[in-house]
Chains A and B, each alone.
Chain A
Amino acid sequence: MDSTLSLLMQGFAVAGTPENLMIALIGCFLGTIVGLLPGLGPINGVAILLPIAFAMKLPPESALILLCAVYAGCEYGGRISAILLNVPGDAGAVMTTLDGYPMAKKGLAGPALSISAMASFCGALVATIGIVLFAPLLAEWAIAFGPAEYFVLMVLALCCLGGLVGDSLPKAAIACLIGLLLSTVGIDSNSGVYRFTFDMLHLSDGIPFIVIVIGLFAVSELMLMLQHSHSGAEPMLITGRLMFNMKEFLLTKWTLLRCSLAGFFIGVLPGAGATIASAMCYASERRLAGKDSDFGKGDVRGVAAPEAANNASANGSLVPMLTLGVPGSGTTAVMMGALTLYNITPGPTLFQEQPVIVWGLIASLFIANIMLLALNIPLIRVFVKFLSIPNWLLVPGVAAISMVGVYAVHGNTFDLVLGTLIGGIGYLLRVMNFPIAPFILGFVLGDMMEQNLRRALSISDGEIGVLFSSPIAIGLWVAAIAMLIGPRLMKLLDERKQAAAA
């Protein structure tokens, strides 16, 4: 415990340097804006800024602080458009529209925004404390993992995500397998064999991570924005008081605590992200509040619950990435790709080998959330102005900035063209309801999965049984199968029951 505290202090020393504080502030500001723009969410924000941070030659800890601040900021920003426009700014804020917009219609936009900022802060704070307490323990436990366990752990992560997202199992599986397949392109590092390069020199190092990310989360996103482009509704005006009062705060205090804790633990589980956490917490708070509550008509608890939960789970989802090197969501998969750009391999040894980076990142989460709370209550009117950025300026602007990042890192147009083509394919897959998170997770994990599989089989001299030999591995296999089939089986049983009742 003592050592944790001193390491955290070291982290604050890293995150507290003037440059890093400035970077965190910029990240928070940009993140909030990206979050509040409907159509752009945390994954787009992180994806677009990642190559630029790399091109600016930021040191790894500063780049991570920037990306984490953007990530945290997006989770705050999503609620602004949810409350004022009735359009969630990102997927985690869907539930916030249910009570946020009615509150704004009643003239309580100010209190709705400030209590949701408070809820976001509370969720993020609880989750960051959770990271400090649990991440080192989990890392210590995972250090005992051999290559076989690691391989199965990655299978589990992919199954969790595949089991929970999208409506069809084959589609989730295909998305994840395409990601894995693309990760094998290039020279095989063990044997020097060229795989799927089709004699193209540019492909011999494999498809760059940044190219995939920009294609999937910038180019295809812009195409979707054109498809969904609707005449912009006018945001509600903020009239009256900005701050919530004591009565409103006291009404929500237990909601905040419950949802923050629940959100954190849901976030730690691979696959279940901010969207699921906020939906579950909203539903349970609504049930707890009883019949005579105002849920759905503008109850403060209905705004506080999903916001606390989605911020807590967003931070909680950093735990598996930092401790196991196995991200559980699309956004954390992109962040992990950022680490690998700097030749840092996340995993249980990260806590020992790179304490500066890990603890600097954790400390920066505390700092970023305090900044976000400070930015989001008094400056709310400034952020609201950004809601009126017209799409005709936003879409080409995002296109240009995305290309700047890729060009700056790789310096050739082959990658720009490749990224655009991948974006086109990504658009088709997304319109056909293929979930995109398993795609990026498969691409990020592919190389590590193959390496661990080959290492495990080298140790056992080709004996495949090594993958099922240890109790941990067996447990992980069982969990993987349960996560893949479980959620859909439950849904099917639910439908049966409803059909029988009707």
Chain B
Amino acid sequence: MSERILGGLLLFISIAGIWIARSFEAPFSYEPVGPRAFPMLILALLGISAIALILEKKSDTTWAPPPVMKRIGVLFVIILIYAWLFDKLGFVLATALMVIPIARFFSATWKQAVAGGVGLGVGLFILFDRLLDVALPTGLWLNNILG
């Protein structure tokens, strides 16, 4: 069933994409193939493959059991929030806050998780920002403290 749903979604994407791509026209054209031919070709092939996927007789995907799926979903959301807060909170704080819940998922104790969070946050900051010259955001709060 999941294959069929995905196939339907891809078919929709390919049709919508072709509809969008129709408007890609160059104001001055000096070559026979403009900017829309290649995307439209790819989208058409994608549509055909999507139909093939819908019609294909293959065993369905087995998803992870619901509790595991839920944890994977939460992991994804944590990384997403981490990505969003990366420069707002600064690397050290954002990393520590990301590490603690993820470490708990992989069955660390609270003590290990907090130590790991602080350790990774501070350790990686020193490694990259100070030693390897890869600039990392310190975050507004730390800037204020450091003046």
Contact = CB atoms under 8 A, between A and B. Distances in A.
8 contacts: A173-B45, A173-B52, A174-B10, A177-B49, A393-B103, A395-B106, A396-B117, A396-B120
B146 interface: no
Contacts of B63: 431
A454 B33 contact: yes
A178 interface: yes
Contacts of B99: 396-397, 400
Contact of B106 (A188, A226, A401, A413): A226
Given A177-B42, A226-B106, A462-B32, 19 more contacts: A55-B134, A168-B58, A174-B49, A174-B53, A181-B17, A181-B42, A181-B43, A191-B26, A193-B26, A193-B35, A195-B36, A219-B79, A226-B72, A227-B68, A396-B103, A399-B102, A420-B83, A423-B79, A453-B33
B49 A191 contact: no
B15 interface: no
A195 B24 contact: yes
B142 interface: no
A424 to B, nearest CB: 5
B74 to A, nearest CB: 9
Contact of A170 (B49, B112, B113): B49
Interface in A447-486: 449-450, 453-454, 457-458, 461-462
A219 B76 CA distance: 8
Nearest to B55: A170
B139 interface: no
B8 interface: no
A354 B110 CA distance: 53
A27 to B, nearest CB: 14
B137 A169 contact: no
A5 B35 CA distance: 45
Nearest to A428: B6
Interface of A: 52, 55-57, 167-171, 173-174, 177-178, 180-181, 184, 188, 190-193, 195-196, 219, 222-223, 226-227, 229, 390-393, 395-397, 399-401, 403-404, 407-408, 412-413, 416-417, 419-421, 423-424, 427, 431-433, 449-450, 453-454, 457-458, 461-462
B124 interface: yes
B107 A181 contact: no
Contacts of A413: 83-88
B53 A223 contact: no
Nearest to A177: B46
B135 interface: yes
A169 B52 contact: yes
Nearest to A462: B32
Interface string B11-32: 0000001001100111111011
Given A55-B134, A396-B98, A432-B2, A403 B116 contact: no
B35 A190 contact: yes
Contact of A192 (B26, B39, B71): B26
Nearest to B132: A56
B76 A427 contact: yes
Contacts of B143: none
Most chain B beta-carbon contacts within 10 A, residue among A177, A412, A421, A450: A177
A130 to B, nearest CB: 35
Contact of A400 (B21, B104, B120, B132): B120
A431 B32 CA distance: 42
A462 B52 CA distance: 30
Contacts of A180: 42
Contacts of B117: 396
Contact of B20 (A169, A196, A400, A404): A196
Given A408-B136, A432-B2, A170 B76 contact: no
A171 B98 CA distance: 34
Nearest to B137: A407
Pick from B35, B107, B120, B124 the residue with the most CB of A within 10 Å.
B35
A184 B26 contact: no
A118 to B, nearest CB: 34
A143 B28 CA distance: 32
